[in-house]
Amino acid sequence: MAKKVVKYKKQLAHKRTKRTLSFERRRQLEGLSFMVPWLLGFLIFILIPLALSIKISFYSPTLNDLYRGKYVGLANYKEVIKNPSFGQAVFEAFMNSLYQVPLVVGFALFVAVLLKQEFPGRVIFRVIFFIPVILSGVVMSYLFSEDVGSVSVFSQLVQSNTGFMSRLFGGALTTHIGNIMWSSSVEILIFLAALQSVPDILYEVVELDGANAWERFWHITLPYISPFVILNCIYALVDSFVDARNPVMSILYGLMVQGTKYGVASALSWFYMLLSLITILIFILLTRRWLR
Amino acid sequence: MAQTHVDIEHLKRARKRRDYGAIAITIFLSIGALVSLLPLVYLVCHAFKPMEELFLYPPRFFVKSPTTKNFSDLMNITSESLVPFSRYLFNTVFITVAYLFLLVWIGTMACYPLSKHKFPGHKALFTTVTTALMFVAAAAGIPLYIINTRLGLVDTYWVYIIPGLANPTCLFLLKQFLDQVPDSIFEAGKIDGASEWQLYTKIALPLLRNAQATVVILTFGGIWGDAGTATTYIYREQFKTLAFFMTTIGGGIARAGAQAAAALIMTLPGIIMFILQQSRVMDTMAHSGIK
């Protein structure tokens, strides 16, 4: 009798878990169906074109005959590696990111720490530092294409105040400073968010122990937000790798316009993407011990 | 008594020190803010420059004798366009509104299961999405052209709207924001018998309102100023956008002033949108970063 009851109970329990599982799974499927439109778009307009461009990078297609071009194996990749101008552009792009990323992240961190302080007009400053993000699409390209006598906006400013300013900064240097300030908007916001997550009580404790602002920054702020420093470095790396003003990008656009070199262009872009992925992976591996 | 006196002295000194700090911060940030504002100032100055200042060498940053001639030139050019100017304007407004509406709708729908149903493979999917961000869009240009042609999107309004709807950046942002919302809210809804659709419309959507504003602000500039799609995919003039029309103004020294005026006019809607929505945007950005 007792055995029977136990068996019955077991059956019931089994049934119940089975039923709740299927209910959960049904809910999950229902929720998943919400993703279908997005996934379809992602598949059709991003993944399939990407896959086709891998395929094309092994062929030598022409514009009328994109799919049935001649199979050339790794020839396109060989051309990419052999051509010195490609190699130089890739090298230049990487060197640019190497010096830009630390500067952008450092500047963003500095400004974010300042914007975190209490002072009058804080909100206005936060908005102003975000403006380059809005302008970026339309105006930045206009400003950078607007090279009257190949003089960029910044050197124009310098030359308008001739004398002191132009002696202080060379045209190229000011342009670099401007680039760095304009491309650090999103990083500033991420750091601001991170700084707000540092508990105030930590600052109070070390302040009681007599720590000054400098020590507070190095011993509390920086260790606490180190994951965001790494996140921002990765963001800045990606940003500079896919920047339209990058030398590799201009070569790619040039090859696209010619039309006949489409296989080489695909090979170059995949080669470049792999290099950037490897760089970012190495960076993540190196900094993993600071990630919490 | 003496103790209190010392305390007050100490407080006064502390207050003073902080004031110096605040002044230093304000000065430094003002310089930074000036540099951030430069492109905008330059654009405004440029639009009001008379012809001889536009082609001055060495060029001048600020305008010396401002004129509105550039704007009247622009008006003249618009009156002799191929299709009535209002048609270009209508196209751009229609495309922008439709695109942003669908983008937000599809994006929020996709981020809900990604954030709140930990289905098998959700991590792999999210990694794929974030890796796709890194790819050079130009390389996929020609396959994309073929796909758009096969789907019959070419030469219709759809080609502006559909290909960009699955936007990885937006999904990333929306998902990060929804991750902040505690699961227990959704569980409570489930216990009260809400269906998945109700959980999405009644809980997720209202909570994501700030994130939606951010997505709109960040993508507005791209779609509003999109001239490339019209150049590549649209043959019939009546389906082309305002941004495309603005690019046709350029070319020729005589029209440089009108082009500068056009560039200023094209950026104004984005700036107005941002000023209206800025508090929401700041709020989202402050949340989306925190894990």
SS3 A70: strand
| CA distance between the termini of chain B | 50
pLDDT at B290 over 60: no
| Residue A250 touches partner B, C-beta closer than 8 Å | no
Number of Cβ within 10 Å of residue A241's Cβ equals: 24
Q: Residue B56: its pLDDT value, please?
A: 64
Sorted by sequence, the CB contacts under 8 Å of residue A168 that are 6+ apart come out as none
Chain B residues with CB under 8 Å of A143 CB are 39, 42-43
Name the average pLDDT for chain A. Answer: 74
Among A32-36, A199-203, B257-261, where is mean pLDDT lowest? B257-261
Radius of gyration of chain A (CA): 27
Q: Residue A31: its pLDDT value, please?
A: 81
Tokens representing residue B172 in the block: 């990333």
pLDDT band at residue A153 under the 50/70/90 scheme: very low
- The shortest C-alpha distance from B52 to chain A (Å) reads 13
The highest-confidence range among A54-58, A171-175, A228-232, B204-208, by mean pLDDT, is B204-208
Q: Residue B97: its pLDDT value, please?
A: 93
Q: Residue B140: its pLDDT value, please?
A: 74
pLDDT band at residue B11 under the 50/70/90 scheme: low
CB B196 within 8 A of CB A34: yes
pLDDT band at residue B12 under the 50/70/90 scheme: low
pLDDT tens track for B35-82: 777 777 777 887 887 877 766 655 566 777 777 777 887 777 777 777
E strand or H helix at A105, and its extent?
helix A84-116
Sorted by sequence, the CB contacts under 8 Å of residue A244 that are 6+ apart come out as A141
Give domain limits for chain A. 1-34, 84-290
Average pLDDT of the segment spanning A38-66: 81
**Considering only alpha carbons, which residue of chain B is nearest residue A25?**
B119
Q: Residue B267: its pLDDT value, please?
A: 78
The highest-confidence range among A18-22, A105-109, B274-278, by mean pLDDT, is A105-109
Q: Residue A5: its pLDDT value, please?
A: 67
- The shortest C-alpha distance from A292 to chain B (Å) reads 11
pLDDT band at residue A37 under the 50/70/90 scheme: very high
**Considering only alpha carbons, which residue of chain A is nearest residue B218?**
A134
Cβ within 8 Å, pair A39-B113: no
The number of residues making up chain A comes to 292
Name the average pLDDT for chain B. Answer: 78
Chain B residues with CB under 8 Å of A178 CB are 35, 38
Cβ within 8 Å, pair A46-B171: no
pLDDT tens track for B193-211: 888 899 999 888 888 887 8
Closest CA to B144 of A138, A189, A66, A161: A66
Backbone angles phi, psi at B57, to 5 degrees: -130, 125
Q: Residue B95: its pLDDT value, please?
A: 93
Q: Residue A151: its pLDDT value, please?
A: 39
pLDDT band at residue B19 under the 50/70/90 scheme: low
CATH class, range A84-290:
mainly alpha
Q: Residue B101: its pLDDT value, please?
A: 94
pLDDT band at residue B10 under the 50/70/90 scheme: low
Amino acid in position A30: E
